[in-house]
Amino acid sequence: MNKTRMRYDQGRDQWFVNLDGREYVLHCGESFELYIGSNALLCQLELASKWYVIMGNTRFDLREHDQYMVNL
């Protein structure tokens, strides 16, 4: 897995990551580990009226102005 930052692009309304100098757009249904502090939790990216992640039975809205550490 590759640990990297996940960022939001407002112009495209999509989250993306940079790996090895290349940009990759993330899509609905993609799974990855999201870091909460030093803990990596498996989650799935989804879109309704806003982007959010699902971790087990819990859903969290993503803040578009924040960046998140993820493992892909």
Domains in the chain, CATH or no CATH each: 3-71 (2.40.10.390)
Structure confidence by residue, pLDDT tens digits, 21-57: 999 999 999 999 999 999 999 999 999 999 999 999 9
Q: Which residues contact residue 2 at a Cβ distance below 8 angstroms, ignoring those fewer than 6 apart?
A: 19, 71, 72
Q: Is the pTM of this model over 0.85?
A: yes
Measured in Å, how far apart are the chain's first and last C-alpha atoms?
Answer: 5
Contacts of 44 (CB under 8 A, 6+ apart): 29, 30, 31, 53, 54
